[in-house]
Structure formats: C-alpha cells, structure tokens
Structure 1
Amino acid sequence: MTKNPISPFYAIQSLWQHRQLILDMAGRDALGKYKGSRLGIIWSLLTPVFMLAIYTFVFSEIFRARWTSASQSKAEFAIALFSGMIMFNLFSEIINRAPTLIVSNANFVKKIVFPLEILACVSLFSAMFHMLVSTAVLLLFQLIMNTYLPWTVLLLPFAVLPLALLCLGISWFLSALGVFIRDVGQTIGLLVTGLMFLSPVFFPLSAIPEKWQGLARLNPMVFPIEMARDVLVWGKTPDWAEWGIYLLMTMVVAWAGFVSFQKTRRGFADVI
C-alpha cells in the first residue's frame, strides 16, 4: 500500500496546486451558512456587532473593566475588546469545526483522487472571510470614533499568518482524530470556551498577576491577540524576534498536524 507523503513541501505543493478548488469551496462554505435566510450575508455583520455590544456592556458596565485607565471611554474599551474577539473567533470557528470536518464530508472520503488535506484549508479560508468582515467593522468604528487609523493596521497580516498555521495544524490533527473518536467534538467545545476566558480577550495581559504571567504566556492565543491589538488599536509595532519564534513554533505545529493527518487518513474510509 502506498504511503501518503508527509513532507511539509508536499503539503505546500498540494494546497497551492488545489488553490482554486479551495477558494471555490471556501466561498460556498462561507456564504452557505446564510442560505435561505432573509438577511443573508448581512448576518456576518450583525453577529459580531451584537456580540460586541453584549460583551462591552457586561465587562465595562457590570464588571467595570478597563484597559488603560478609569477615564477610558466605552468606545475605546469596545475597540480593544473587539480586536481580541476577532482573533479568538477565527481560532474558535476553525477548531470547533475541526473534529467533524472529515465526517461531515464523508462523500469526499470515498473519492480516491480527492485531496482530503485541503478541507482544513477550506475551513480556514471560510473563517477568514468572517474575520475580514469583522475587521472592516472594527476599522470603520475606530475611524468614526477616533477620526484616524494607525499605519500599523497594515501589519495585521503578520499577526494572522502564524495563527493561521496554528489553526491549520490543529485542524488537521483534530479532523483525523474526530473520525475515530466522535466525542472529540464535545470535548473541544468545552476547551475552546475555557481558553477564551483564559486568553486576553476581555482583559489586558498586564491585568494577570505577575506570578501567573509566565504561565499565561504559554497560552498560544496570547501572542496573536496582543499583536493584533497593538497594530490595530495602539499603533505599536510588534517585537519581531518574538514574532519569528512564534512563527517557527506554529510552522512545527502545522507540519505535525499534517503528518498525523496523513498517517491516519488510510483508515478514514473503513470507519466512515
């Protein structure tokens, strides 16, 4: 039996070779969520705005949370909160979906020539569409409230790139595992929810007690959330050395996830 290639170069080649198929499937997937609804794609705008309003009210009014000072306006708090939500929502949408990615596309498993490895990338691109919509909402809101945007917003892709690699690797691993262990989906949902409240989405990293700072930085979502907030809100350039280390680590995660997917994919058809 022919072994499935596990080289990272094969993964890159396969994704590039099937780029048009990935884009077509991602487009159908992103828009398919709103099929049959009256408002259609407008829901992709309304959902993040609604959640932003709820979270801002709860944390700024009830918990009296602040990012910089007590005099900080609700608008400033909302912008800081929303920037973190955008990055975490990208992660959660992909990871929550990963365990059922292969099972829900069982018809593709039976097709020997279909490149199953692209399904994780399809999920990534679909989630990135919603992220772009939310980012556009954030930038428009920030422009209205502050009348300007920092030039560092152009650096956002550098924050997204390593996060995308992290999501891709975890998605490959979980999608393969979910074929054999169906309870993975429920477990991952709980873990992602817990991770959201442990990540600096609703609070700055500096709010964590000093004795827990080192442990908190082990959270893989800390760096992309903090970097996105720096470039989108505070106008700060990232620590490029730290970015390089994080990028290298996510590349390893992506490759490890791809290897696990390729090693187990031969058994998909037997289980499904």
Structure 2
Amino acid sequence: MIEREVLGRYRGSIAGLLWSFLNPLFMLLVYTFVFSVVFKVRWGNGSDSKSEFALLVFTGMMVFNLFSECISRAPGLILSNVNYVKKVVFPLHILPCVMLGAVMFHTLVSFIAWLLFYLLMFGLPPLTALLFPLVLLPLALFTLGLSWILASLGAYLRDIGQVIGVLMSALMLLSAVFYPVSALPESYQHWLYLNPLTLVIEFARDVLIWGVVPNINLWLGQMVVAAAVAFCGRAWFEKARQGFADVL
C-alpha cells in the first residue's frame, strides 16, 4: 500500500518519481533566495555562505515537511477511503501508517538531495549524520499518534482539514526552519521550544551539519512523550472507528 501510495501520486506525469526530488529542491532554491538574498537573513554563526544557509534551511524543511504532510492529510484519510469502511473488513488503523510510510519515502528522497548538495559543496558530512534516522524516530511516533486522532476526528468534523491547513502555515514560521532558536530574544526562546518540531529540527542540524551528538536525556524525553501520544492516538482511533460507517 505504501508503494501504491507513492507511485499513485505521480501516475500519468512525465517525470514520475523524479518530482519527489524536484519539488523539495525547487522550494529550497525559492526559500534560500527570499531569505538570504531578499531579506539578507544570516545564521547565528556569522557565516555569509549561501550554500550553508541553504543546507540549514533544507534540514529544517525535511523535518517540517514530514510532520506537515502527514498532519495535513490525516483529517481526510477516512473520508477518502470510504470503501474500506463500508464494504470490506479492513484494519483501518493502518491507513495513517501507510501515509507515514509514503511521507518517509519522500523524506528519504529529500535527504538524498541534501546529501548530494553537501557532497558537492563541502565534501563528506560528519559521521553523526548516521544518527539522523534516530532523530526522526520520536517525530515519526508523535506524528503517527496525531494522525490517528485527526483521521478519526476528520470523519465526524469536516472542518478539521481547513483548520489544520491554517495551523501548518503558522507552524512553518514558528518552527525555527529559517532561523536558529538563538536568533530570538532569550525571553522568547523557551516559548519556541514548546513547539514539538523545534527540538527535532535543532537535533537534525546538530547531527547533519554541526557534527554534534544530541542530548540523550532530551531525546529519551521526546521518545516517552511520542510513545504516549501514539498509544493514546491509537486508543482514540479504535474507540472512534465504531461510528465511522454511520457518519459516512
């Protein structure tokens, strides 16, 4: 189902799967131009390198896009798979898993694009880049839990999808994608860390660019919270699914 989901997105297009590589690359170029050339944003390390800025932004975009695409699509999962609800005996709880698997594939493609760009501009990345999957693990669990909740709510409340679209637009600017946390006044920095994406983005930059191993205690705390959200999300979904056939 993950394979069908990935291939189905580009079925009929000339470039096919190549679009999964071209789309993030195009957005990377646009955001880099706007923020580093038009607004002349500079990172906190004092470097004026546009290549480094592009990699820093792209790292944040990979993390944000993984979360954003899942959360944006989750409210419509049940509505777009009515046949699975009404006509066959089907484990509906795997639909968010399929969606997450497809999004993880596109994250992998984006990472390959990031890696090629890094190799071209700076050479081999630090060894800590091997920890990138572990950095994403808590986010994947957290996203899956929220997706179960939103998928079930979307079957009852059709406005959920519209609300999520607005929230994702705001969250992109509040997730330290285009700037480091240190760029904010100290009195605001702790508020930014209330955003669940901020710490993941900072850890991703640590392992991919700065060569720093993330704080193990903070990572374990993320895992505990993510596992709790996933458990509660699955429990909520199983309880809510009993009424899907009625509302659809």
Task: Provide the rounded CA distance (Å) in 1 between the counterparts of 2:175 and 2:100.
Answer: 21
Which range moved further: 68-77 or 125-134?
Answer: 68-77
Secondary structure of the structure 2 residue equivalent to 1:190: helix
Secondary structure of the structure 1 residue equivalent to 2:125: coil
**Shift of the alpha carbon at 1:113?**
2.5
Gaps of 5+ in 1: 1-24
Q: Deviations over 1:145-192 (max 9, x none)?
A: 001210001001111110000110000000000000001000001001
Secondary structure of the structure 2 residue equivalent to 1:168: helix
**Shift of the alpha carbon at 1:68?**
3.3
Partner of 2:52: 76
Number of equivalenced pairs: 248
Secondary structure of the structure 2 residue equivalent to 1:247: helix
How high is the TM-score relative to the length of structure 1? 0.89
Task: Provide the rounded CA distance (Å) in 1 between the counterparts of 2:235 and 2:42.
Answer: 43
Amino acid at match of 2:224: L
| 2:99 equivalent to 1:99 | no
**Shift of the alpha carbon at 1:69?**
4.0
| 2:147 equivalent to 1:171 | yes
| 2:246 equivalent to 1:246 | no
Partner of 1:213: 189
How high is the TM-score relative to the length of structure 2? 0.98
Runs ≥4 in structure 1, deviation > 4 angstroms?
none
| 2:100 equivalent to 1:124 | yes
Task: Provide the rounded CA distance (Å) in 2 between the counterparts of 1:93 and 1:148.
Answer: 30
Quote the RMSD (CA, aligned, Å). Answer: 0.9
Partner of 1:236: 212
Partner of 2:26: 50
**Shift of the alpha carbon at 1:218?**
0.7
| 2:179 equivalent to 1:203 | yes
Partner of 2:231: 255
Percent same amino acid among aligned pairs?
53
Task: Provide the rounded CA distance (Å) in 1 between the counterparts of 2:50 and 2:242.
Answer: 53
| Aligned counterparts, 1:17-166, within 5 A | 25-111=1-87, 113-166=89-142
Task: Provide the rounded CA distance (Å) in 2 between the counterparts of 1:251 and 1:111.
Answer: 32
